[in-house]
A and B are shown apart, each in its own frame.
Chain A
Amino acid sequence: MLDAVGTRVLRAPKELVYALGFMIEIVRNIPAYFRMQRRGGGGGVLKMQILFTGVNALSIVAVLSLAIGAVIIIQGLSVLPQLGQGQLIYTILITVITRELGPILTAFIVIARSGTAISTELGNMVVDHQIEAYMATGLNPITYLAVPRVLGVVISLVLLNIYFNFFGLVGSFLVTQLVQPLALEEYLFGLYGSVTLTDFVASFVKSIVFGVLIGCVATYQGLAVERAGTEVPVRAIKSVGQGITLTVIANAAITLVSYL
């Protein structure tokens, strides 16, 4: 019992070092990926990743952002004027939608949909020796498989965040009209007056950082499968758990830094 606990405790830092090394390896292989793409290879993987992670998630992101944006507007317009702070609705919208919920909710959606899919796909490829077949053919699996998936997740997250903001801020305005009519000009002017460059930068940086973390964790866990098919779901679950944990920690850190 104690032996097993000790082994697990000792394994954790070792795995962390491997994971960091893996992340560095991915970054190091980005130029090699683009060189390969110029030769005509590997572009399909990136496009497919953006399709699965970004395009196919548009509908769920739209529904989520519309609903959340509408709820914030309705609640804000009901409560804030009673406190004489009606104008704060725009600041709250920008803070909640652009700086916080946009990046983190899209990240959660991507973890749930694509993080698990990437880990499972790569894990099955390990079990079927397809990864070894890439190596036997002279293709570095990091360059050919991991880099485009990580880039695909990053690009998709940035685009999904923009999409979330669009629906959360503009689309939700339309929903609000059904409940509490508000002049479009007044609404847009209010938003414009409340938004700062820091809001955009913080949101953008979060999307990129979350994308890198989710992509690296998912590909690492997938490629960490050793031999058995039974390892695949275990690694997929780890991919979700670690993805959420790292995203939440990174979100807190970036928010903290943005207010310094």
Chain B
Amino acid sequence: MGEKTGTALSTQNVIVAFEDFTPVRGISVDITPGKTVAVMGRSGSGKSTFIKAAAGIIPVTSGTVRVFDRVLGPLTNRELLRLRKTCGFVFQDAALWQNMSVYRNLALPLEQHYPDLTKSERDRKIRNAIDRIKFTDDLNLRPASLSAGEAKLVAFARAVLTEPELLILDEPTTFVDRTGVDRILGFLRELKESGTTLVIVSHNATVVSQLADEIMVIDEGELLVHGTPDVVAGSDNALVRDIVSDVLDQAATFDSDILTLLGEIDNV
């Protein structure tokens, strides 16, 4: 247990090193509860590894991670379960369990976190979640039958079913079509308004501009800047400006969002 820090997520000098490379090199950051933080960086800059380490999904080589003042380290099954109820995670490639139906993908987290729920209560929660993302397909389908965008929406529903106070999302809009992006944006806005802390790795200009209270820019495993969009926009660091422009420019290719994007880059 750590001392009370009043942060939703706090990392101190976090380093993640693999055998052949070190994707995260000493990132320290404090994220206030209720804030929405966009994490930006070029491909391979260490963003995904950092947020996975921050969520306790991959172990840190050195440094400390605190989630709502709890220091992450070796956790017992019970502690792990308690932490996961607080901290949800959406993977870039959805990571749905392929050997289960969509329904089981959604029911399993509920069974783990709310073992006393009756089946009808569980079904009601699942129905609410899929209604919110407007998922209309058969819940008995296997994830392999879904499009990448639909799988992403189901993964999103799975992560929010347990009503986490901190939700970490790795590229939530990748592979999702325009309608899907709008659904996710709407849902993220609801979560933000309800006080959920959001940490979003995103290349999507709309997500960053409409949701982010703060922006972190990471390059080669190091945190270049962390602050409000104004602070990041006013950064003297040319690398920061290059990365923000590069990332948003790259997003334009995928999002067909050139006009919006140009406005964003001008603002930055």
Give complex CA distance A125, B99 in Å. 10
A-B contact pairs, 18 of them (CB 8 A): A29-B77, A32-B77, A40-B111, A128-B95, A128-B98, A130-B95, A133-B91, A133-B95, A134-B97, A135-B56, A135-B80, A135-B84, A136-B55, A136-B57, A136-B88, A138-B84, A139-B112, A143-B77
Give complex CA distance A132, B52 in Å. 9
Contacts A29-B77, A40-B115 known; 20 new A-B pairs at CB < 8 A: A40-B111, A125-B98, A128-B93, A130-B96, A132-B58, A133-B91, A133-B95, A135-B56, A135-B84, A136-B57, A136-B91, A137-B109, A137-B112, A137-B158, A138-B80, A138-B109, A138-B113, A139-B108, A140-B80, A226-B18
Q: Which residue of B lies closest to A137 (CB)?
A: B109
Residues of B within 8 A of A128 (CB): 93, 95, 98
CB atoms of B98 and A130 under 8 A apart = yes
The contact of A138 among B18, B58, B83, by CB within 8 Å, is B83
Residue A86 is within 8 A (CB to CB) of chain B in the complex: no
Question: How distant is B106 from chain A, measured CB to nearest CB, in Å?
Answer: 11
CB atoms of B115 and A140 under 8 A apart = no
Give complex CA distance A133, B106 in Å. 12
Q: Which residue of A lies closest to B48 (CB)?
A: A129
Question: How distant is A162 from chain B, measured CB to nearest CB, in Å?
Answer: 29
Residues of B within 8 A of A125 (CB): 98
Residue B175 is within 8 A (CB to CB) of chain A in the complex: no
Q: Which residue of B lies closest to A132 (CB)?
A: B57
Which residues in B have some Cβ–Cβ distance to A below 8 Å? Answer: 18, 52, 55-58, 77, 80-85, 88-89, 91-93, 95-99, 108-109, 111-113, 115, 155, 158-159
Residues of B within 8 A of A39 (CB): 111-112, 115
Question: How distant is B158 from chain A, measured CB to nearest CB, in Å?
Answer: 8
CB atoms of B84 and A140 under 8 A apart = no
Residues of B within 8 A of A29 (CB): 77
Q: Which residue of B lies closest to A11 (CB)?
A: B19
Which residues in A have some Cβ–Cβ distance to B below 8 Å? Answer: 29, 32, 39-41, 121, 125, 128-130, 132-140, 143, 226
Question: How distant is A131 from chain B, measured CB to nearest CB, in Å?
Answer: 9
Residues of A within 8 A of B81 (CB): 138
Residues of B within 8 A of A143 (CB): 77
Give complex CA distance A140, B81 in Å. 9
Q: Which residue of A lies closest to B56 (CB)?
A: A135
Residues of A within 8 A of B58 (CB): 132
CB atoms of A132 and B95 under 8 A apart = yes
Residues of A within 8 A of B158 (CB): 137
Question: How distant is B96 from chain A, measured CB to nearest CB, in Å?
Answer: 7
Q: Which residue of A lies closest to B119 (CB)?
A: A40
A130-B97 contact in complex given A40-B115, A143-B77, C-beta closer than 8 Å: yes
3 A-B pairs with least C-beta separation: A138-B84, A136-B89, A129-B95
Residues of B within 8 A of A137 (CB): 84, 108-109, 112, 158
Give complex CA distance A134, B93 in Å. 14
Residues of B within 8 A of A140 (CB): 77, 80
CB atoms of B91 and A132 under 8 A apart = yes
CB atoms of A41 and B108 under 8 A apart = yes
Question: How distant is A140 from chain B, measured CB to nearest CB, in Å?
Answer: 5
Give complex CA distance A80, B24 in Å. 72
Residues of A within 8 A of B82 (CB): 138
CB atoms of B85 and A138 under 8 A apart = yes
Give complex CA distance A111, B58 in Å. 30
CB atoms of B98 and A135 under 8 A apart = no
Give complex CA distance A136, B95 in Å. 11
Residues of B within 8 A of A138 (CB): 80-85, 109, 112-113
Question: How distant is B228 from chain A, measured CB to nearest CB, in Å?
Answer: 29
CB atoms of B80 and A133 under 8 A apart = no
Residues of A within 8 A of B55 (CB): 136
Q: Which residue of B lies closest to A143 (CB)?
A: B77
Q: Which residue of B lies closest to A136 (CB)?
A: B89
Residues of B within 8 A of A139 (CB): 108, 112
Give complex CA distance A129, B91 in Å. 8
Give complex CA distance A143, B84 in Å. 16
Residues of B within 8 A of A133 (CB): 91, 95-97, 155
A41-B112 contact in complex given A132-B52, A133-B96, C-beta closer than 8 Å: yes
Give complex CA distance A29, B92 in Å. 30
Give complex CA distance A140, B89 in Å. 15
Give complex CA distance A128, B94 in Å. 9
Tell which of B81, B95, B96 has the most Cβ of chain A within 10 Å. B95
Q: Which residue of B lies closest to A142 (CB)?
A: B77
Give complex CA distance A192, B134 in Å. 68
Residues of B within 8 A of A32 (CB): 77
Residues of A within 8 A of B108 (CB): 41, 137, 139
